[in-house]
Structure 1
């Protein structure tokens, strides 16, 4: 072997070792950052429970005059909410790993925090205890709270609390108040069209407000219907009768 080839081979070995070391350093840094993030998120979660217990917070929501039990809500509305917000709601344990992975990839490729991959349980946790500010620490705290909710309450109870705590715009919190304010009727009186319309508003209340942007709200309603077809809650023929 020539002296030149020997030097080239040795340089390649050195390069490979350097790359491996750099990768190990990056992995170690990522693990350390993850541990810090999880620790701070857990502290935020614990601090929230210290200020007000979960049981007390639930009782506060349930004591609202507009609180509506699941028995007072049309099945079409409940199915619409699950289809558009969290179609794996019945299968996950508080967080949806598939949705989180998809959101993480999209956020990394766009260098943003636009997509959260939050489940209904996570959204309930956020509405109950945390601000709408987008941060990784709050996201971790929200996950811990979601786990706590899933341990303490059934899926039916979580869904009921969720639809009674979400914001619909124009100062309306919960489906009872929103139906009274927007539709001048009780939730159980909603038509299939109204069910799918109301299910779409909480995604962006200021955008889909029925008083400010009825046209956008109707576009969102059509999306809700498509999601219901996609996840087999309704048929294509049923969808045609629901969409205006």
Structure 2
């Protein structure tokens, strides 16, 4: 009899926890959707894209080295060309790591979500903002192609040292236009936006090169570089 009571108590506790989780998820989703709608009303997607493209130092995607584009996708969002704006595999992995750590240690954001965050929301790590970011990412994916999204992304992210797009960063760090970047410079620059203060090549060259090695490793793992090409990408000059 005692065993039966314990089982019923555990079952009741499970149902209660499940109900609480569902309620919390619904609340976060509704609040996030409200934030998304409000942001979109203040700045429609077309206006957002035009604002980025109107920058005097905007760089079209076809003026960026293929190696740089591959490096960005490999290290930031390797399923970029196959997901619909939110990578649920990466999201679940990040959620598990966050739960294990008891803090926000991994984001799981896609390139599209990062674009949404940079142009519409704050950097604050709260669940309602993450939900709003996901809704905005889905909207962006419906309106723009993957190449257009990548183009907007590299023209609106922070690279450290006061550089807010790929041209500013390339000219500031290397003294050249993005199209002229070497494989070494492409892989070095691709690693910076993950943590601009830490990986700023001018301020923390050692950390920047450590991050660059991670970028190159990811490119080799994804089949973007051969071993010989990887060695070239890690060689200055």
- Superposed CA offset, 1:154-185 (max 9, x none): 00000000010110011111101111111111
- Give me the whole-angstrom Cα distance separating, in 1, the residues matched to 2:173 and 2:104: 31
Aligned partner of 2:116 in structure 1 is 125
Structure 2: gaps of 5 or more residues: none
- Superposed CA offset, 1:60-95 (max 9, x none): 000001110111000000000000000000110001
Helix, strand or coil: the match of 1:16? Answer: helix
- Give me the whole-angstrom Cα distance separating, in 1, the residues matched to 2:82 and 2:25: 26
| Residue among 99, 106, 128 paired with 2:97 | 106
Aligned partner of 2:143 in structure 1 is 152
Aligned partner of 2:53 in structure 1 is 62
Correspondence 1:65-104 to 2 at 5 A: 65-104=56-95
Question: By how many angstroms is 1:214 displaced?
Answer: 1.2
| Residue among 135, 139, 142 paired with 2:126 | 135
Aligned partner of 1:36 in structure 2 is 27
Aligned partner of 2:7 in structure 1 is 16
Provide the alpha-carbon RMSD of the alignment. Answer: 0.7
Correspondence 1:89-238 to 2 at 5 A: 89-238=80-229
Helix, strand or coil: the match of 2:191? Answer: helix
- Give me the whole-angstrom Cα distance separating, in 2, the residues matched to 1:73 and 1:243: 19
Instruction: Name the larger-Rg structure.
Output: 1
- Give me the whole-angstrom Cα distance separating, in 1, the residues matched to 2:47 and 2:82: 27
Question: By how many angstroms is 1:119 displaced?
Answer: 0.5
Which region of structure 1 is more displaced relative to structure 2, 71-80 or 12-21? 12-21
- Give me the whole-angstrom Cα distance separating, in 1, the residues matched to 2:114 and 2:221: 22
Structure 1: gaps of 5 or more residues: 1-9
TM-score (norm 2): 0.98
- Give me the whole-angstrom Cα distance separating, in 1, the residues matched to 2:106 and 2:147: 26
Question: By how many angstroms is 1:211 displaced?
Answer: 1.6
Question: By how many angstroms is 1:153 displaced?
Answer: 0.3
